[in-house]
Amino acid sequence: MSTWRKHRYWLIGQLALWVGLAVVLRVAVVPAETCPPVDAAAVERAARAGGDWLVRAQRADGRFTYGYRREQDEVSYDYNDTRHAGVLGALYALGRIAAADAGLRYVRRNLISHDDWTAFAPPGEPVETGANALVVVALIYRREASGERRYDGLARRIGRFLVSQQQDDGSILQYWQRFAKRSLPGVYGAFATGEAFYAMALLDRAFPARGWDRPAHRTAEYLATRRDEVEGGFRQPDHWAAYGLATLAPSGLTEPEVEYARWLAGYFGYLIRYESQHQGSPLNLLHESGASLGTDGEAAAALWRLAGAEPRLGDLRGRLAERVGCNAGVLVDQQASRRAPNRLVRGAWFDDDYTQMDDQQHAIAALLGANQVLR
């Protein structure tokens, strides 16, 4: 009897088993990507609709509606000043200057000063580095959108607060203590360091030859080489760092900064691919919120700009453009209808029937970045 005839049922069974496992692996674990088609006009419309949500939900004191649960028709009255500052940046970038200026008035009513710096810190709230970094980002965006210079002095004074929080190794402390009048040692924010780095890079772009590049490069080097050792844990996939590197590129990047940018491109590229493969799947271990999808797209778009300016990263530009386009298509596809009758649903990004202000902020920023790629 031939080997085939003797073992054919076992062999056929093994073949069927492996084919079945391959199908399960492909469908459930490594499914095909879903990248809805999208163009520059579609992403611009979606970004503007997200901005409309923020403006409709703005309060009389300049703050914004923090969050909304669609099923319960319930507004959240929590608030977060770092997210407030981030929303201002998104609105200025979108050209919604009047609404952003109303939010800026809330910031200006809550400023404190110490030594040669100024900081945003409402009563009862800590003096927080990330919130102040994003105020600087918003002020520079306003400067670039409007051409006005009226807040240049404020941007530089808050920038000096950020530099005062910087340690010799380039790390950035998260808090300054009002009662002790000193920085709180040994406490770092998950994103405050990257936010401060981006703010300093923007200050260097707005005010060249004023020395802002030195603290910016010091923190970039820290992010690239020492952050894990100092703060513990895994390397943080920081979209603010991607913005900072792209902004700082004209002053020249060091080799560690370039390698860090390459790592960020790989990490955010993976996140976008994973999201596009697992949309709506119970196997999706990541949030599908506007903030989560948005930060991935923001990073990829910033790194695409960087790859166009930095020859050592030029080989990444085509793949980054694909990732940006895919992410933008997912964001446009997941946005709530712009014709929804409920004003707190219309144009928002929901995850488990909940949306909040930073979902709109990050989705808008990602779509504006994608618009540059898709044009």
Average pLDDT, the chain: 91
Specify whether the CB–CB gap between 169 and 231 falls below 8 A. no
The predicted pLDDT at position 281 comes to 58
CA distance 84 to 106: 10
Q: Dihedral, CA atoms, 291, 294, 296, 301, nearest 10 degrees?
A: -150
Residue 85 has pLDDT above 90, yes or no: yes
Residue 38: what are its φ and ψ, rounded to 5°?
Answer: -155, 155
The predicted pLDDT at position 237 comes to 80
272-282 per-position pLDDT tens digit:
999 888 676 56
Pair of tokens at residue 78: 């929590």
Domain range summary for the chain, segments of one domain joined by +: 30-374
CA distance 219 to 215: 6
The predicted pLDDT at position 66 comes to 98
Cα three-residue angle 120-96-363, rounded to 5 degrees: 80
Helical H runs in 33-114? 40-56, 81-94, 97-108
Q: Residue 360 pairs with which residues in a beta bridge?
A: none
Q: How many CA within 13 A on the CB side of residue 246?
A: 22
Percent of the chain with pLDDT over 70: 89
Residue 116: what are its φ and ψ, rounded to 5°?
Answer: -105, 15
Quick one: three-class SS letters along 123-154?
CCCCEEHHHHHHHHHHHHHHHHHHCCCCCHHH
**Which band of pLDDT confidence, cut at 50, 70 and 90, is reported for residue 22?**
very low
pTM of the model: 0.90
Q: Which amino acid is at 332?
A: V
Q: Which residues contact 21 (CB under 8 A, 6 or more apart)?
A: none
322-360 per-position pLDDT tens digit:
999 999 999 999 999 999 999 999 999 999 999 999 999
Q: How many CA within 13 A on the CB side of residue 284?
A: 20
CA distance 210 to 214: 10
Residue 25 has pLDDT above 80, yes or no: no
CATH for 30-374 is 1.50.10.20
CA distance 14 to 7: 11
247-257 per-position pLDDT tens digit:
999 989 999 99
The predicted pLDDT at position 288 comes to 82
